[in-house]
Every structure is written in C-alpha cells, then in structure tokens.
Amino acid sequence: MAAEDDYPGSGEPSEELECRPPGVEDLLDLCRELNARKANYVVIGGFAIRAAGYIRDTMDIDLLVETDLENESRVYKALEILPDKAVLELKPGEVGEYGVVRVGDEVMVDLMKSAAGIEYAEAIRDIDVREVEGVPIPFASPGLLWRMKVHTHRAKDAGDLVFLREYFASKGQGPPGD
C-alpha cells in the first residue's frame, strides 16, 4: 500500500496553500457545475450530515465519485471553476488508482473512490436528493452516513453518530444494522 505522501494532493500543505472552510455557496457552485457536466457523485461527510439536520462546521467538501475515466474527467472539468485551478495537476484515473485525492484550491475538495468500503454504485441507491436554491444535490442519506461512519472510530465522527442515533430514534427506528 502506498504511503499517504504518495497520494496526489496529500502530505504537508505548503506555506502558500491556505484553504478556507467551504460555505453553502461553494457547495452550490460546485454541484451546479457537476450537474451541468452530468458527473456521477454523492455529497458525503460534513455537508451531508448538515443536510440531515446536524449543523456543524466542515473543513472540506467530500465527494464520493464514480471512478471510470469519463466520469473522473467530468468531475475534474467541474472543479476548474475553483479559482486556483489546482485540479489541472490531476489526470483522470487518479481517484480510481489512489482511492482519495485531495484538491487543495480556495476550498478543499476530497474526491473519493469509496468511503468505509462503499463505492459510488452502492451509495447512489441510498441518497437523498435535495434541491438547494434550485440546485439538485445528491446527499448521502442518514442511513448511508451511518454505514460510512459507524466503523471508522474517528473522534470527529462521534458527534455525527450521536446525532444519527437520535435521528433514527425520532423516527422510531434503530440505525441500520442495529
């Protein structure tokens, strides 16, 4: 397995590179462009948990993407709307090859082949498409988020899991797999 420094866009950020936390407008702009290019993606991570109702900060936009070369090309083309054009350093196939590619531009965008072993083809069956200011956005559903986060044991996922457990309880359900 490759070391983290072998992944495109990973490793220590340079002094020049400072990504600001993304806002809803950044997500809207990116999703509008992804949709216009007919890219296959699902918003996961912080923005997806926010769409489910748990408002918390996020430092990046996490996208689970289909990793065939055509789709990666569409995703990369959409990312060219970011001002620094950092995506131009990438070649189609790198998300499929490395699993995770961090695009450090004005905002950080993480492109992922899978999350907790769940790839796009499986994830797309368990999404909530929400229209935000006229832009349809495919968010990971609460059930999909649970499946992606429950086995990570990351401290930053603990609050999300508490929220999701309460979310399911409010619906008279247990989390998936419980």
CATH of the domain at 121: 3.30.460.40
**In which domain, by residue range, is 165 found?**
18-169
pLDDT at 169 over 60: yes
Task: Give pLDDT, residue 20.
Answer: 97
Task: Note whether residue 174 is domain-resident.
Answer: no
Does 34 reside within a domain?
yes
| Residue 177 domain-assigned (yes or no) | no
CA-to-CA separations, 146 to 43, 59, 76, 121, 125, in angstroms, rounded: 14, 20, 28, 17, 15
Element (H, E) at 155: helix 155-170
Higher pLDDT, 155 or 131: 131
pLDDT at residue 5 is higher than 50? no
At residue 7, the 3 state secondary structure works out as coil
Residue 17: band (very low, low, confident or very high) from pLDDT cuts 50, 70, 90: low
Q: What is the pTM of this model?
A: 0.89
- Residue found under tokens 């950080």: 108
Amino acid at 51: A
pLDDT value of residue 53? 97
Would you put residue 170 in left (φ > 0), alpha (ψ -120 to 50) or beta? alpha
Beta strand 108-112 pairing with 114-115: unpaired
The pLDDT score that the predictor gives to residue 1 is 36
Closest among 133, 141, 148 to 35, alpha carbons compared = 133
C-alpha 166 chain-centroid distance: 23
Q: Tell me, what amino acid is at 139?
A: F
Judge whether 13 lies within some domain: no
The three-class DSSP label of residue 58 is coil
**Residue 28 forms part of a structural domain:** yes
Joined tokens for residue 85? 């054009």
**Overall domain count for the chain:** 1
Look at residue 48 and tell me if it is in a domain: yes
